[in-house]
Amino acid sequence: MSSIRHRVAIPCALILLIAGVDARADQPDGSAQVLTPDRAVSLALGNSPVLGASAAQTRQSRWALTSEGAKFAPTLVLDAGVTRTQTPNAATSGTAIPRNDSATAGAEIKKKFSPGTDVSARLAGTWGQSQMASMPGQSSMLTLGPTYGLSARIGVTQPLLRGAGREVNRTSILAAESDRKAATRAEEHAASTLARDTLNAYAEVWYASRNVGVQKKSLEVATTQRNDAAARERTGSMAQADVLSFETTVATKQESVLDAGQALSSKKLELIRVMGGGVESDFSTVEELAVPPPEQGDLVAEAMAHSGELQQLDASLEAAKLRARVAGESYRSRLDLDAYMQVQGLGNKEAYPALTQMVGGKAWSAHLGVTYELPISGKREAEEARATASVEAAQKNLIAAQARIRAEVESLILQERVARSRAELAARTVEIAEQSAASQRARMQTGSATALQVIEAENQVRAAELRALRATADAFEAVMNLRRATGRLIQYTANR
């Protein structure tokens, strides 16, 4: 019998040593690095690559909105050029090569207005000098200039069909604003989901750490009972078969301690992964889990109004409707009315006359015209049909999400109530099981109960404690799931 105890005690010590690092979570001390729920969420929000990608998409949508808004910003165009032209011509005594030199410089401002009107204003100056035959067919050259020219021109183009109207020209901006809202809601939803996952993973670590404590306590009780039984067996007051039952129980509970330690390590790794990993995500233990009070209010209505997922889908639907209004616009017939007016002046060998002529309006020109373009294809109808299908798909997605979230919230409300009731019932069961185990131990001392009855009573205590812990973790997770569904976690994450 002594050899049996030694063969069991040595593995027991090794198992406790291996599980000791994870089991410290059940018995925190001053040197342990305690991870709080708030700290876990803050680490996750700061380190999660998933949330980082969502934030990048939000920034991208903001810059896209800025880019769309810039379509009505004025544009400045500057141009300059120098040209020399020489063209050989036949002459009576061979060939003549006249030369023409010119230089131009100009500045133009263009602006588009929301009705689709394009307005431009241009100011340009020219310089020119040319050589030409003094008489037709002669090879002798005559130099003209230099000449100086100035011109000012204002032009307007107003579309009457394609691209006409404020709705057409501002729809892209409104759609970009809806995309920005959708991206923002998606980021908030991702943050809310990440906070829920982090807090639920935290609850699982808490449960796993307390499970280690329960299994260790159960092993200690079984070891004490085994030792007491062995002592009584040596005095002849207990049969060897009963002692072997206790030895089997000790070995079984050693396995349970090892399994619990492994489960705790796995849950800790999962929590560290959710928090984004890194050295700052490591910890030794967690705080005692406190189940928040029951959620109050009309939770279903709150979820319908504040759910991040529904807000994201609603913004996407709005963007799809806006784009459907102008679908196929680029394939409509084009009818543009354009007009311009120009004044100009020219000075020979001096620039001042060019200025006075332009300012005085002595030489002016004007133009009024229309341009019509008719696309010969059916692509416009295809684009309109595609946009209509996109709106319909967005509407169906929103309706389906509303039905799913409504059912999800109602189910979560029931889960929360059941989990709280289970936690209360399990706590009472623990008290009863402990009383029953104490009674069986007392009866065994008097010989009126067997070792198997004591072992069964102790197992019932352990099972009741684990059910109570599991119910507490389930109640906590049900509250977090409910807060995410109703959008309440969005405000929680915003404060971090």
| Annotated domain spans of the chain | 2-64+174-322+387-494, 74-112+117-162+334-373
- Summarised one tens digit per residue, pLDDT across range 82-109 is 999 888 876 666 677 778 899 999 999 9
Q: 374 is written with which tokens?
A: 């008719």
CATH number for the domain whose boundaries are 2-64+174-322+387-494: 1.20.1600.10
- Summarised one tens digit per residue, pLDDT across range 457-471 is 777 778 888 888 888
Q: Is the pLDDT of residue 19 over 50?
A: no
State whether the Cα torsion 10-16-21-27 is positive or negative. negative
Phi, psi of 160 (to 5 degrees): -105, -20
pTM above 0.75, yes or no: no
Phi, psi of 287 (to 5 degrees): -75, 165
Residue pair 479/416 in contact (Cβ under 8 Å)? The answer is yes
Residue 25 corresponds to which amino acid? A
What is the mean pLDDT of the segment spanning 132-148? Answer: 71
What is the mean pLDDT of the segment spanning 390-416? Answer: 91
Residue pair 248/226 in contact (Cβ under 8 Å)? The answer is no
Distance, CA of 438 to CA of 229 (rounded, Å): 16
What is the mean pLDDT of the segment spanning 147-162? Answer: 93
Greater confidence (197 vs 29) lies with 197
Greater confidence (298 vs 153) lies with 153
Average pLDDT, the chain: 82
Q: Is the pLDDT of residue 264 over 80?
A: yes
Greater confidence (32 vs 233) lies with 233
Give the helix/strand (H/E) hosting 101.
strand 99-112
Residue pair 317/391 in contact (Cβ under 8 Å)? The answer is yes
- Summarised one tens digit per residue, pLDDT across range 326-381 is 888 888 888 999 999 999 999 988 888 888 888 888 889 999 999 998 888 778 88
Distance, CA of 90 to CA of 76 (rounded, Å): 45
